Amino acid sequence: MIHVHDMGFFVLSTLLLAFTPGPDTLLIVSRTTSHGLRAGGITVLGISAGIFLHTLAASLGVSAILNTSPGLFTFVKFLGAGYLLFIGVSMVIRTSPKKTQVQGVAPEPSDRSLGLMFRQGFLTNVLNPKVALFFLAFLPQFVDREASRPALSLFFLGVVFNFIGSLWNYCTALFAEFASRFLLQDSRSTQWFQRGAGAFFVYFGIRLALAGPAMDVG
């Protein structure tokens, strides 16, 4: 059986956390403005898959290894930081879009590009060890101490967290697609926006590389 408590506070806390921008939000906005709502939705699915893996790892106790192994935490941290830096630098040095953008309408991505965006969303989330440690610190607070199957309760909370976060992420993609039609009217403005987003990815990568095992998501 599932034994949890204070679900109202859990949902409210999850919403507040979802509203906090980070690498996931930046990736969704970047992919939506450059390739359209479909690309943003695929990126959201990739991020959701990453959160699901974190949920599964926390429920099975795998994430606890990161908390007890500084070496492993550091390895995953630098792996994730390197990936964020790779995305950021790639966006900054890209000189021209592959297709010309007309009247603020993003070019339709190919199936191959969509697969890449899914992987980017997945890896950006799953390679952040701070997310795993956050799950270990946050979810157990809402599991009853007398729960006969705490792993099942943790998994349930993780699924709820993922569902709420995914809804907000898709709303973010919708807003980004709507805003881009008015703010990014040509390929040049889109190009400079992507470069700015790339610079923020570089910042997030450096921030992750310098971070300790703090219990936050950003």
Give me the pLDDT at residue 189, please. Answer: 72
Q: How high is the pLDDT of residue 93?
A: 85
Query: Which residues have C-beta within 8 Å of that of residue 101, sequence separation ≥ 6?
Result: 107, 184, 186, 187, 190
> For residue 104, which of 188, 172, 12, 163 has the smallest C-alpha distance?
188
In sequence order, the 6+-apart residues with CB closer than 8 A to the CB of 91 are 30, 194, 195, 197, 198, 201
* Any domain includes 59: yes
Tell me whether residue 1 is in a domain.
no
The total of structural domains in the chain comes to 1
Q: Of 104, 119, 95, 92, whose CA–CA distance to 205 is shortest?
A: 92
Rounded to 5°, the CA angle 176-83-41 comes to 30
Q: Could you tell me if residue 218 is inside a domain? A: no
Cα–Cα distance for residue pair 170/152, rounded to 1 Å: 27
Supply the DSSP symbol for 157: H
Q: What integer pLDDT is reported at residue 132 of this predicted model? A: 86
Evaluate whether 43 touches 31 at the Cβ level (below 8 Å): yes
pLDDT at residue number 98: 46
**In this structure, how many other beta carbons lie within 10 angstroms of the beta carbon of residue 72?**
13
> Which stretches of the chain are DSSP H helices?
7-19, 23-35, 37-60, 64-68, 70-93, 111-126, 129-138, 150-183, 187-210
Range of the domain at 60: 7-210
Q: Which segments in the chain show pLDDT lower than 70?
A: 95-110, 184-187, 213-218
Q: Is residue 216 part of a domain?
A: no
Residue 215 lies in a domain: no
At 184 the pLDDT is 64
Q: What is the C-alpha separation between 196 and 164, in angstroms, rounded?
A: 28
Q: What is the largest CA-CA distance in the chain?
A: 60
Is residue 2 one of the residues assigned to a domain?
no
